[in-house]
């Protein structure tokens, strides 16, 4: 699908001029002759980009810009404001009103298209992340916008020590960020020592662009800096340097020397966007973690446990190591639920999970399989040690009754555990099944069955006991 | 952390030469004087990149390269092979052995560093994806490598129609890909019409690089092509064009004119890497979907349902619309489990879920809240219609007994449903709570409570019934 651009200006000659400039972008262009018409079109079908001329009959361009940005449904729509004949003050005002950038009508096609590419590139990355986050369909974006952040960290890469320090000094007064400067020639050596900055300001001297462009390429290539927002400062208006910087991954360009006020405005919106993306990324990761976590106990869930057990079987098979599979089941748990209610039952499960987790090493797995049943996979080479671990789990659960928070009730709990050793099935199956993933899944299931039979034995023998599965004769 | 590079060559002068070339990359360099030493170092600590000289005392560089690539633990380690004085045949042999690229010792620092940046960039993107996938800790990568793919689609962007067709013709004989060619000047216009290609081959004429570099920047900016693998073909060896192409996002460069055999080898590994990333991305998305899905019934789970219900409440509040909240609970489900076992119970739940889902429209929500309880949220403006929808659900469940697969058993099932209307709580709470997310969560909980009370009424009145919550007096 071609990107869809809405051009808004009340003077038709301006609209035509803009349309001609955009022709090289091969975008699909729609036009509106007034702010009112533009707002109607936005309601009907949100474009990918709004190009806003300076001449509107029914509203100033700045008012329209601000009006669009304050509507949550349109807030992410990129806006380029094009003044027929703009001054620095116009540009600052446009950025303040929420425009993503402001140009004069005389802007070259190359520069305009490169800026549009950079905006679209950022927008597409963001959209991909947003769709992924939505696929997890956890609560909406609103929450992701909240929360307290440490101040953003900005790194200034001036072409000389003096420049960097001067920029820092000027910015310091007007931005709430943590600033540090380091001259460009030095910065690459130390890059690996920084904690990932939120934004990097790179000074590009038109006469000597190599170092700056190379730093930009490095920033985009390195794991610690690839998500950083980059603002490139050109010492003079130069189209090819601007296009190059944007296409190499700069998020924004100050095209005619350093201007602290303008830099601050551009940094503000770059950093806001970067942090939104950071939060989305975190939510995606949280969503993924949720997929494998039992919400009540915080342990892994069955969905995680079974493939993990297969992998353990495979690992043990190739490394000729052994491991223990245990099924632990709370004794008479139904009575807890019946007598004290489900909320009490949940507290007991959470506390028992905590006690067992504490007994195990970091490399052991414990998962809640459902109801009051837990799976433990422990790395140990012999059945005696496995039995000792299981006894320790029984002791930890039995040691003292579970106290219900906010209620003066103490519930004594015990657990029965059935244990099977991995080698038991690995040996038995070795000849029957080839060394493939499928067979390790089968071994995992068989091990669960063996542990379950042993668990049944523990229950039959009076509960609060450990029983070992007997190797098949 | 600085990237960690291992240089392997038995001639110390070669190692020093390579180390000097890499100095500008500010990487941390380790050295090995033989293949054996290199393999030991790899075992101890995997570097980010291996730079392999052509002179080894104990093994040929090609053998070492192949040996490393066939070990799954090292398979993703990028390898650059640097011949003291290599031919085209040497380069082809290196690519065949699994090297990511091959150079001669005379390669300029700029070209070498640009290639390393492109390799590191790809590696970091892949690592981020892999870590994210691992965070979801679903079964390992092995499965992601399996599965049948449609043939990869490759788009050839020649600088002229004749060139593109000729390259296509030459490649056709040796690659299993779907190939199409289109001349560069035309391609941008149509880019939006392509289905996303797996790889794009772009011809760059050193005398006229603009169109090609612009296409490359566009490819990286557009949603449909940003993940495509890009191979740039230079008509003559030119360092600055090569550096530019790599830093603008090319994955690989053919630096001295088109060579079908070499192009095929490079495309093979680019496409394999791209598809691996595609699969990882899909697994991340599957993991996210799993976080909100009840595995037994395929319906949404409670984790998804509650925030969704809050959002419905908020939407209804601002739009002054209404909606119905229903809790449906299977009647005497415990008897099914006790009499026929848990497997039968699961089949009944899955079938009942299917029957109810079929009765509802796409915009209605149905989720399994746990056990045998389901939540339905339907968009409807009045209680009579809501009751009709609920009656339809009861009918659908009752209509015929559930037949157990593989067993000659028919289990009759009915469901009781309690219904509450959103407006009931929205009106009641309007004055008490401000219009914030928190209050809509409270409304969602309150609605569940009301529906639950109505459900209790339906159970008390003999089950297989719909009961409406009575608005508070």
Domains detected in chain B: 1-107 (3.40.50.2300), 138-291 (3.40.50.2300), 300-468 (3.30.70.270)
Chain B residue whose CA is closest to A191: B2
Cα–Cα distance for residue pair B468/A89, rounded to 1 Å: 63
Chain B residue whose CA is closest to A213: B247
Mean pLDDT comparison of A183-197, A296-310, A445-459, highest-scoring range: A445-459
Q: What is the pLDDT of residue B451?
A: 94
Q: What is the pLDDT of residue B435?
A: 52
Q: What is the pLDDT of residue A139?
A: 41
Average confidence (pLDDT) over B241-263: 93
**End-to-end Cα distance, chain A:** 66
The closest CB to that of A285, out of B135, B285, B290, belongs to B135
Q: What is the pLDDT of residue A230?
A: 96
- The residue among A217, A277, A280, A294 with the most chain B CBs within 10 A of its CB, best to mutate, is A217
Cβ–Cβ gap B307/A140 under 8 Å: yes
Q: What is the pLDDT of residue A125?
A: 84
Cβ–Cβ gap B304/A142 under 8 Å: no
Q: What is the pLDDT of residue A428?
A: 63
The closest CB to that of A189, out of B26, B143, B307, belongs to B26
Query: Does the pLDDT at position A76 exceed 70?
Result: yes
Cβ–Cβ gap A307/B140 under 8 Å: yes
Please identify which residue in the block is written with the tokens 């400067």. Answer: A181
Per DSSP, which regions of A333-422 are E strands?
365-370, 373-378, 402-403, 410-411, 415-421
Q: What is the ipTM of this complex?
A: 0.70
The sign of the dihedral angle between the CA atoms of A103, A105, A108, A114 is positive
Residues of A annotated as catalytic are 372
Query: Does the pLDDT at position A158 exceed 90?
Result: yes
Give the 3-state secondary structure of A315-332: HHHHHCCCCEEEEEEECC
Chain B residue whose CA is closest to A371: B371
B76–chain A nearest CA distance, Å = 16
The average confidence (pLDDT) of chain A is 87
User: What is the pLDDT confidence band of residue B403, given thresholds at 50, 70 and 90?
Assistant: very high
Phi first, then psi: give them for residue A32, nearest 5 degrees: -135, 140
Chain B residue whose CA is closest to A244: B248
More confident residue, A378 or A288: A378
Cβ–Cβ gap A138/B303 under 8 Å: yes
Average confidence (pLDDT) over A18-37: 89
**End-to-end Cα distance, chain B:** 67
Average confidence (pLDDT) over A277-298: 83
3-state DSSP helix/strand/coil % of chain B, to nearest 5: 50, 20, 30
Cβ–Cβ gap B138/A291 under 8 Å: yes
Cβ–Cβ gap A124/B221 under 8 Å: yes
List CB contacts of A406: < 8 A, sequence separation 6 or more.
none
Residues of chain A found within 8 Å of residue B311, distances taken between Cβ atoms: 139-140
A173–chain B nearest CA distance, Å = 32
A216–chain B nearest CA distance, Å = 9
Q: How many CB pairs under 8 A join A and B?
A: 132
The closest CB to that of A124, out of B223, B289, B290, belongs to B223
Q: Percent of chain A scored above 90 by pLDDT?
A: 52
User: What is the pLDDT confidence band of residue A136, given thresholds at 50, 70 and 90?
Assistant: low
Q: What is the pLDDT of residue A54?
A: 86
Q: What is the pLDDT of residue A207?
A: 86
Cβ–Cβ gap B288/A191 under 8 Å: no
Q: What is the pLDDT of residue B304?
A: 83
Cβ–Cβ gap A288/B289 under 8 Å: no
Q: What is the pLDDT of residue A397?
A: 96
More confident residue, B267 or A86: B267
The closest CB to that of B121, out of A118, A139, A221, belongs to A221
Phi first, then psi: give them for residue A31, nearest 5 degrees: -130, 150
Residues of chain B found within 8 Å of residue A248, distances taken between Cβ atoms: 247-248
Q: What is the enclosing helix (H) or strand (E) of A440?
A: helix A437-460
Cβ–Cβ gap B138/A307 under 8 Å: yes
The closest CB to that of A287, out of B137, B142, B291, belongs to B291
Q: What is the pLDDT of residue B136?
A: 57
A89–chain B nearest CA distance, Å = 31
Residues of chain A found within 8 Å of residue B287, distances taken between Cβ atoms: 287-288, 291-292
Query: Does the pLDDT at position B236 exceed 50?
Result: yes
- The residue among A133, A137, A313 with the most chain B CBs within 10 A of its CB, best to mutate, is A137
Query: Does the pLDDT at position A195 exceed 90?
Result: no
Residues of chain A found within 8 Å of residue B221, distances taken between Cβ atoms: 117-118, 120-121, 124
A469–chain B nearest CA distance, Å = 24
Average confidence (pLDDT) over A327-343: 90
A393–chain B nearest CA distance, Å = 26
The β-bridge relationship of strands A229-234 and B466-468 is unpaired
By mean pLDDT, which of A215-219, A438-442, B370-374 is the weakest? A438-442
Instruction: Choose among B123, B80, B78: nearest CA to B101.
Output: B80
Tens of pLDDT, residue by residue over B157-198, are 999 999 999 999 999 999 999 999 998 878 877 766 667 899
User: What is the pLDDT confidence band of residue B25, given thresholds at 50, 70 and 90?
Assistant: confident
- Ramachandran sector of residue B49 (left: φ over 0; alpha: ψ -120 to 50; beta: rest): beta
Q: What is the pLDDT of residue B432?
A: 53
Cβ–Cβ gap B221/A289 under 8 Å: no
Chain A residue whose CA is closest to B4: A192
Q: What is the pLDDT of residue B134?
A: 67
Q: What is the pLDDT of residue A292?
A: 82
User: What is the pLDDT confidence band of residue B142, given thresholds at 50, 70 and 90?
Assistant: very low
Chain A residue whose CA is closest to B136: A288
Cβ–Cβ gap A139/B307 under 8 Å: yes
Cα–Cα distance for residue pair A362/A323, rounded to 1 Å: 15
More confident residue, B171 or A136: B171
Cβ–Cβ gap B284/A284 under 8 Å: yes
Q: What is the pLDDT of residue A473?
A: 45
Please identify which residue in the block is written with the tokens 């023998």. Answer: A461
Average confidence (pLDDT) over B45-49: 90
Q: Under a CB-based contact definition with an 8 Å cutoff, are residues A252 and A266 in contact? A: yes
Cα–Cα distance for residue pair B247/B209, rounded to 1 Å: 14
Q: What is the pLDDT of residue B438?
A: 55
Q: What is the pLDDT of residue A134?
A: 67
User: What is the pLDDT confidence band of residue B146, given thresholds at 50, 70 and 90?
Assistant: very low
Cβ–Cβ gap B289/A117 under 8 Å: no
- The residue among A123, A223, A243 with the most chain B CBs within 10 A of its CB, best to mutate, is A223
Cβ–Cβ gap B192/A140 under 8 Å: no
Residues of B annotated as catalytic are 372
β-sheet with A199-204: strand ranges across? A178-181, A153-157, A199-204, A229-234, A252-254
Residues of chain B found within 8 Å of residue A129, distances taken between Cβ atoms: none
3-state DSSP helix/strand/coil % of chain A, to nearest 5: 50, 20, 30
User: What is the pLDDT confidence band of residue A60, given thresholds at 50, 70 and 90?
Assistant: very high
Q: What is the pLDDT of residue B228?
A: 93
Query: Does the pLDDT at position A140 exceed 90?
Result: no
B100–chain A nearest CA distance, Å = 17
Query: Does the pLDDT at position B222 exceed 90?
Result: no
A72–chain B nearest CA distance, Å = 14
Average confidence (pLDDT) over A107-115: 90
Cβ–Cβ gap A221/B189 under 8 Å: no
B292–chain A nearest CA distance, Å = 6
- The residue among A232, A291, A300, A338 with the most chain B CBs within 10 A of its CB, best to mutate, is A291
Residues of chain B found within 8 Å of residue A307, distances taken between Cβ atoms: 138-140
**Would you call A79 helix, strand, or coil by DSSP?**
strand
Average confidence (pLDDT) over B26-53: 92
- The residue among B136, B224, B289 with the most chain A CBs within 10 A of its CB, best to mutate, is B136
Q: What is the pLDDT of residue A193?
A: 62
């Amino acid at each position: 699908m071609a990107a869809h651009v809405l051009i808004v200006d009340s003077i038709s000659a301006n609209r035509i001029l803009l349309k001609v400039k955009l022709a090289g972008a091969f975008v699909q262009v729609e036009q509106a002759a007034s702010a009112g018409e533009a707002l109607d079109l936005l309601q009907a079908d949100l474009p990918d980009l709004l190009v806003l001329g300076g001449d509107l009959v029914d509203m100033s361009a700045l008012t329209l810009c601000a009006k669009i940005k304050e509507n949550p449904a349109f807030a992410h729509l990129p806006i380029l404001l094009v003044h027929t004949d703009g001054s620095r003050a116009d540009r600052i005002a446009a950025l303040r009103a929420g425009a993503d950038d402001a140009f004069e009508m005389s802007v070259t096609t190359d520069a305009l298209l490169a800026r549009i590419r950079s905006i679209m590139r950022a927008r597409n990355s963001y959209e991909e992340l947003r769709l992924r986050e939505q696929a997890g369909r956890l609560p909406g974006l609103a929450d992701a916008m909240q929360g307290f952040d440490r101040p953003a960290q900005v790194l200034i890469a001036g072409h000389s020590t003096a420049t960097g320090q001067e920029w820092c000094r000027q910015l310091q007064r007007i931005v709430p960020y943590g600033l540090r400067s380091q001259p460009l020639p030095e910065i690459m050596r130390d890059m690996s020592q920084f904690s990932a900055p939120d934004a990097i300001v790179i000074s590009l001297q038109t006469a000597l662009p190599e170092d700056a462009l190379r730093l930009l390429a490095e920033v985009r290539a390195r794991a610690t800096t690839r998500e950083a927002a980059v603002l490139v400062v050109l010492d003079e208006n130069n189209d090819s340097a601007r296009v190059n910087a944007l296409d190499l991954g700069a998020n924004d360009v100050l095209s005619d020397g350093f201007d602290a006020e303008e830099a601050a405005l551009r940094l503000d919106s770059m950093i806001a966007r970067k942090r939104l993306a950071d939060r989305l990324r975190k939510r995606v990761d949280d969503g993924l973690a949720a997929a494998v976590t039992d919400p009540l106990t915080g342990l892994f869930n069955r969905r995680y446990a079974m493939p993990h057990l297969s992998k353990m079987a495979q690992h043990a098979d190739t490394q000729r190591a052994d491991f223990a599979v245990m099924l632990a089941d709370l004794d008479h748990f139904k009575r807890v639920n019946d007598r004290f209610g489900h909320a009490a039952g949940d507290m007991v499960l959470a506390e028992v999970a905590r006690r067992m987790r504490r007994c195990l090493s970091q490399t052991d797995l414990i998962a809640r399989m459902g109801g009051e049943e837990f799976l433990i996979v422990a790395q140990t080479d012999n059945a005696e040690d496995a039995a000792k671990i299981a006894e320790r789990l029984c002791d930890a659960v039995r040691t003292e009754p579970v106290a219900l928070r906010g209620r003066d009730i103490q519930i004594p709990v015990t657990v029965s555990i059935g244990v099977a050793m991995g080698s038991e099935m690995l040996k038995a199956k070795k000849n029957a099944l080839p060394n493939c993933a499928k067979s390790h899944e089968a071994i995992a299931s068989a091990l669960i069955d063996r542990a379950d039979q042993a668990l049944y034995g523990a229950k039959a023998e009076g509960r609060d006991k450990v029983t070992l599965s007997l190797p098949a004769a």
